[in-house]
Amino acid sequence: MEELQQHLESHYSIVNTLKQWLLSIGVSERLAEVLKVSIAVAIMLLFSVLVYFIVRHVFVRLVVKISKRTNSTWGQVFAEHKFFHRFAHLAPALIIYLSIDVVLGGVFPTITEIIRELCKIYMVVVVLLMLNAFLDSVNDLYRRLPFAANWPIKGLLQVVKIVLALIGGIVIVSILIKKDPSTLIVGLGASTAVLMLVFKDTIMGLVASVQLTANNMLKIGDWITLSARHIDGSVIDIGLTTVKIQNWDNTITTVPPVALVSESFINWRGMTEGNGRRIKQAMQIDVNTVQFCTPDMLDQYAKIGLVANHLAQLRSQQSHPGEAALGSCTNLNIFRHYMLAYLRQHPHINQEATLMVRLLTPDQYGIPLEIYCFSNIKTWVEYEALQSDIMEHMMAALNAFNLKLFQRSSTSAPTPNTRNDVSNC
């Protein structure tokens, strides 16, 4: 730094020579000094603008072009986050800081000192902005890695930003009061309790973010449900103080990480990463349509391929002809085995997971017949379509087994009004 300042001083000797030339042609001492300072300031500012232009419009564009030509991801990411653009602001401030003492030091010492302090503060702010852009670029590059969704680092980087901001603030204050920064840091030790109170939410958010990440409780892309806060959607961002969830109606809800640690929530990741998505649906069978099978009914059901094997097994187990028809065999039993066989041959039902068709406790609405299985399809739209297809098939197949769904009859049906027709509408 001192060598650079000496180098600048050697260039400004030309200005001193100009002052001697002005004196030699009869210009007064005071006017010659003013002209010398004016020319020196103009040269300093012109050189600063020139360096800024070179860095901002030549160096940065060159880096971006090289990154695009070589498909360098890091170069493009750093350019997107304005890292090099902010670096360009550092060069002119550094030049003014090094040269202002040579330009104005001997004439306006107070103004020189003020400008030097302002340059220091400006450079500290620029360095902080550069470090923020650097951390944002690191986070962007990290998120492109395959394991980044499981281990996000955005919260940790936000903590680093806060620490850097505190350090930068201490440095700026030390510049203003002309004290050593270490003195201020020692003084802040006594106010630790106050800082803990001010940054309580930030500290709690950091701890909660670490817990969520370390225990693999949450990652970007997870579908979560938090009933207490009416949240049902996909996680799109995990930060230090907020977690953003995009609900299925495209609204975005933000909650503190502490809420996800202290409150219970459902993470549906196990469903998407597991052996399938569960289908659990029940229909109410009208109890009045349940009956023992007669031989004619059994002959009729035997024509249905999916229950032919089941009926053949029943006939093989009977001791006397017609025993199966008069025993425990009902049309609901045959239909239950039909639906079980239907699900076992369905291409989109996971045959390795739990699969059953069962009767639940009868109630005032009839006998609940429930299918319980897992779908190979996990995407929401396709899953709902598959579930609807199975239920529609189940409803349509009831008639073939002389069964009906329970449907409450309406006692408040409106009386027909013969005087109203389409022409009167």
| pTM of the predicted structure, to 2 decimals | 0.49
pLDDT of residue 14: 59
Residues 6+ apart with CB under 8 A from 4: 98
Task: Tell me if 76 sits within 8 A of 137, measured CB to CB.
Answer: no
Can you tell me the distance from the alpha carbon of 363 to that of 424, in angstroms, rounded to the nearest whole number? 46
The span from the first CA to the last CA of the chain, in angstroms, equals: 92
Which pLDDT score is estimated for 332?
93
Please report the pLDDT score of residue 268 as a whole number. Answer: 82
Report the C-alpha gap between 81 and 140 in whole angstroms: 9
**Distance separating alpha carbons of residues 199 and 188, to the nearest angstrom:** 14
* Tens digit of each residue's pLDDT (9 = 90 or more) over 302-347: 888 888 888 888 777 765 554 544 456 899 999 999 999 999 999 9
Residue 119 to residue 96: CA distance in whole angstroms: 7
Residue 215: what are its φ and ψ, rounded to 5°?
-90, 5
Structure confidence by residue, pLDDT tens digits, 262-313:
888 888 887 777 778 889 999 999 999 999 888 888 888 888 888 888 888 8
| Rounded Cα gap, residues 127 and 134, in angstroms | 10
The upper half-sphere exposure of residue 134, i.e. CA atoms within 13 Å in the direction of its Cβ, equals 10
How far apart CA 37 and CA 15 sit, in angstroms, is 8
Domain segments of the chain as ranges: 2-212, 217-272, 274-401
pLDDT (0 to 100) of residue 15: 61
d(C-alpha 236, C-alpha 136), whole Å? 17
Instruction: Please list the rounded mean pLDDT of every run of 10 residues in the chain (425 residues).
Output: 54 61 70 75 85 82 76 78 82 84 71 86 90 88 79 78 84 83 67 67 75 77 87 86 88 88 84 82 93 86 86 72 57 93 93 92 92 90 93 93 83 44 35
User: Which residue do the tokens 């032919």 mark?
Assistant: 308
Question: What stretches of 144-254 show up as alpha helix (H) in DSSP?
Answer: 154-177, 181-189, 192-198, 200-214
Assign domain 217-272 to a CATH class: mainly beta
Check residue 343 and report its DSSP letter: H
d(Cα 306, Cα 147) in Å, to the nearest integer?
46
Q: Which residues pair with 405 in a beta bridge?
A: 285
Query: How many whole angstroms separate alpha carbon 127 and alpha carbon 90?
Result: 8
Q: Hey, what amino acid is at 18?
A: L
